Amino acid sequence: MLLIADSGSTKADWAWVAKDGESTFVHTEGFNPVVHPKELLYTELEKLSTALLPGLEPTDIFYYGAGCWDHNRKKVIADALRHTYPSAKITVMHDLLGAARAACGRDPGIACILGTGSNTCLYDGDDVIDNVTNLGFMLGDEGSGSHLGKAFLRAYFYRELDDELNDAFEKFATVDRSTILDKVYSTALPNTYLASFTRFMGEHQEHPLIQKIVFSSFAEFLDRHVRKYRGHLGIPVHFIGSIAFHFKKILLAAMNERDLRAGRFVHKPIEALADFHRKAL
């Protein structure tokens, strides 16, 4: 039996794959070893073991997680999983490989994550072979929820919204300057806070200003990342994450302008990852 995880910084999806191929899906809070204390992961694993079948242990665990890019951060995850499931064989990998496997399967392609943050890679059908550097929400994360939220807040405070959109936004959220700045500069996860404004943007994505902001962010993402990969015009570009899924129409327009070949749009990769590993049973 397999246990598969796809964990971002805010939420994690788990798949329990039995010998007969049947899958059970469970959701917990996400965990990122870069920003979260390890105690959070132990707490969430206790919830997970209760939500699944207590006492039933997987033979193999495949964990794809945000922030799992080096040995020390992967070890934090592996130690916690081993504490909960001591007999299982544990493999911890970066969420970028999970995105590539979920979107591309065994075929070559470019895999993109567009959620709270953003990332990309070139995938050869087996492994990630190239990755344009991800600089995080302060310096990069183009095309992501945090990038969109930041751009929209600038437009609001710089008085670029028309009266109708301005009034709608002020009904949607508390948007005085002090509150915004406190949330951005004094909270543990400002990127998640910034990305929360994409819900409003999604509800008003037919508005010309929203379209302009989103298109510009996606164009920057494609130009700075996707178009840097060798052969990018000849292979499909796949997308994982809520931002790509909910703003698909605008993203496709930016791709068409650059003659990029659109591949799959996957909202949540956990089901595709379960299928990927189920074939190995």
Residue 13 in domain: yes
Give the model's pLDDT for residue 281.
59
Instruction: Look up the pTM and report it.
Output: 0.83
Question: b/e for 43-77, b at 16 or more Cβ within 10 A?
Answer: ebbeebbeebeeeeebebbbbbbbbbbeeebbebb
Q: How far is CA 199 from CA 43, 196, 205, in A?
A: 29, 6, 10
Whether residue 10 lies inside any domain: the answer is yes
Answer whether residue 46 is part of any domain.
yes
Residues of the chain with pLDDT under 70: 35, 51-55, 280-281
Decide if 16 contacts 51 (C-beta within 8 A).
no
What DSSP character marks residue 259? T
Question: Does 212 reside within a domain?
Answer: no
- Look at residue 274 and tell me if it is in a domain: yes
Residue 214 counted as domain residue: no
Q: Which of 51, 33, 43, 52 is nearest to 83 (CA)?
A: 43
Q: How many domains would you assign to the chain?
A: 1
Q: Is residue 224 part of a domain?
A: no
How confident is the model at residue 280, as a pLDDT? 62
The CATH number that applies at residue 39 is 3.30.420.40
| Residue 122 and residue 112 in contact, taking contact as beta carbons nearer than 8 Å | no
**Helices assigned H by DSSP within the chain:** 38-51, 71-84, 95-104, 136-139, 145-157, 163-172, 177-186, 190-195, 198-203, 208-224, 242-246, 248-257, 270-278
CA 53 vs CA 62, 87, 218, 273, 277: distances in Å: 18, 16, 42, 21, 20
Q: Are 219 and 254 in contact (CB under 8 A)?
A: yes
Average pLDDT, the chain: 88
Q: What is the DSSP code (8-state) at residue 24?
A: E
3-state secondary structure of 90: strand
- Domain membership of residue 180 (yes or no) is no
Predicted confidence at residue 178, as pLDDT, reads: 85
Q: Which range marks the domain in which residue 37 is found? A: 2-100+269-278
pLDDT for res 120 = 94
Q: Quick one: how far is CA 30 from the chain centroid?
A: 11
Question: What is the pLDDT, as a whole number, of residue 136?
Answer: 77
In the 8-state DSSP scheme, what is residue 87?
T
